Amino acid sequence: MPIKRPHKKSRNGCDTCRRRRVKCDERFPRCGICSNRGEDCTFTRRAINPIASTTSPETAYLPTIGSPVSTSEACQEADASSVCVRQLRTKQDLSELSLMHHWCTKAYRVTATEHAEILLQDTVNEGFRHAYLLDIVFALTSFHLATDSHDEVDAERHVKIALQYQSRSVIEMGKVLQEVNGDSCNAIVMASILNLFCTLVCPLLESAPDNKAGLAANAILGVTRYFRGIGFLMEQNMNSIKQGPFAKIFGEPSTVQPGPPTGDSAEDLQRLRRWMLMRIAPEHPLLGVFSDELESLEHILTKTHGRSVFEWIARARVDFFQALKQGEEAAIAITMYWAVLTNRLEGTWWAEYAGRRIVEDLSSQHNDFTNGWKELCQWCRHQVGVIDADDEGQDV
């Protein structure tokens, strides 16, 4: 006779799963089954049946996912005819309420300034229908809190929470990607974009696990692969995207005719070109690669009317990134200039933070390059707000 496996029966599933007589994962506010099926999800029994606390005093400060809070407080005396129902509150509920408040009052404004209202309204609304989108919103919000924190312990706590939400979102997205449809593609694209920001920021956080010098190149490479995957997903589902809630971000081409890059950013790229001509030998085997990438930066700056260069990392050649990982002077210089422009032009917290940290990381790795290397690093660090004691903001 087969051994009967022990299990703990729960009656706290959502109303929809109980009505369909299927096992509910009891994820609040929307279980995974209802999220995948696009159905309404309510937990009437969750509000009535208290769950015993399993949180130890040592971990009580950390609002980790799914750890319940004690509900020992008794209801006040009521009339005999009334029913006293106390809403169960878990640490996850309180943590997510705090994260949602931060997103709706601050983080959304500095995540994508041009489309802030879409992040505030449409993204949250879609998140209530697709749990993986709401999870990545919470992850990005937690990373934002980590970059804002001046307390190391507090920053580590936010990073830990962010990684939990990011991991859960990626797992759920992987399941949905098996069969993308018109209803889910918009949420998947937006969740992927927000996850791209998380993927860029996380390795650069000083409080991130296993943080060490040299992670700037790995962070950029991770974003590059992810960026290209998002581009393929959008190409396959552009018709649905143009009819969805995020059409203003992804589905409407610009009506402004591009012109030559102007202003400080264009002058900075010309400064970098002069630096390369002076310091890279004509017979250098990668001179053509470096020249192509500099032209690519200028082209993107022109195409975006001097407003952005972020997408360059999705277009850069594989041999350029190999040169960056190998510590080629010109590859590092071009990447630092891209980081300076990203920090300056995007107007978002994640771009400003990533640009500054990439410059900090790359400029501190090599002190044995040509005579002009120190001046170039000082200029880049000065541009992103990193002022050394002996830095006088020298030009290059």
User: What DSSP string describes 20-41?
Assistant: HT------SSS-HHHHHHT---
Q: Percentage of the chain with pLDDT > 90?
A: 33
The mean pLDDT of the chain is 79
Q: Which residues, 6 or more positions from 240, have their beta carbon under 8 angstroms from its beta carbon?
A: 182, 185, 186
Higher pLDDT, 280 or 73: 280
Rounded distance between C-alpha atoms, residue 381 and residue 257, angstroms:
33
Mean pLDDT across the stretch 287-309?
Answer: 89
Task: Assign 158 a pLDDT band (cuts: 50, 70, 90).
Answer: very high
pLDDT at 211: 55
Residue 126 · residue 27 · CB < 8 Å: no
Cα–Cα separations (whole angstroms), residue 286 to 217, 293, 310: 18, 11, 23
Residue 12 has pLDDT above 70, yes or no: yes
Among the listed residues 321, 257, 247, 249, the one whose alpha carbon sits nearest the alpha carbon of residue 289: 321
pLDDT at 273: 87
Mean pLDDT across the stretch 141-158?
Answer: 94
CATH 4.10.240: which residues of the chain? Answer: 16-49
pLDDT at 257: 46
Task: Assign 335 a pLDDT band (cuts: 50, 70, 90).
Answer: very high
Among the listed residues 30, 32, 33, the one whose alpha carbon sits nearest the alpha carbon of residue 41: 30
Higher pLDDT, 241 or 194: 194
Residue 376 has pLDDT above 50, yes or no: yes
pLDDT at 87: 46
Enter the CATH code of domain 16-49. Answer: 4.10.240
Mean pLDDT across the stretch 178-204?
Answer: 89
Mean pLDDT across the stretch 366-393?
Answer: 76
Rounded distance between C-alpha atoms, residue 328 and residue 323, angstroms:
5
pLDDT at 389: 54
Q: Which two tokens stand for residue 396?
A: 């290059």
Least confident of 21-30, 67-76, 181-190, 220-229: 67-76
Residue 170 has pLDDT above 80, yes or no: yes
pLDDT at 383: 92
| Secondary structure, 3-state, 276-338 | HHHHCCCCCCCHHHHHHHHHHHHHHHHHCCCCCCCCHHHHCCHHHHHHHHCCCHHHHHHHHHH
102-121 pLDDT per residue, tens: 999 999 999 988 889 889 99
User: Where do we find the tokens 């969740």?
Assistant: 191
pLDDT at 388: 67
Please tell me what DSSP assigns to residue 242: H
**pTM (2 decimals)?**
0.72
Residue 48 has pLDDT above 50, yes or no: no
Residue 297 · residue 334 · CB < 8 Å: yes
Residue 86 has pLDDT above 60, yes or no: no
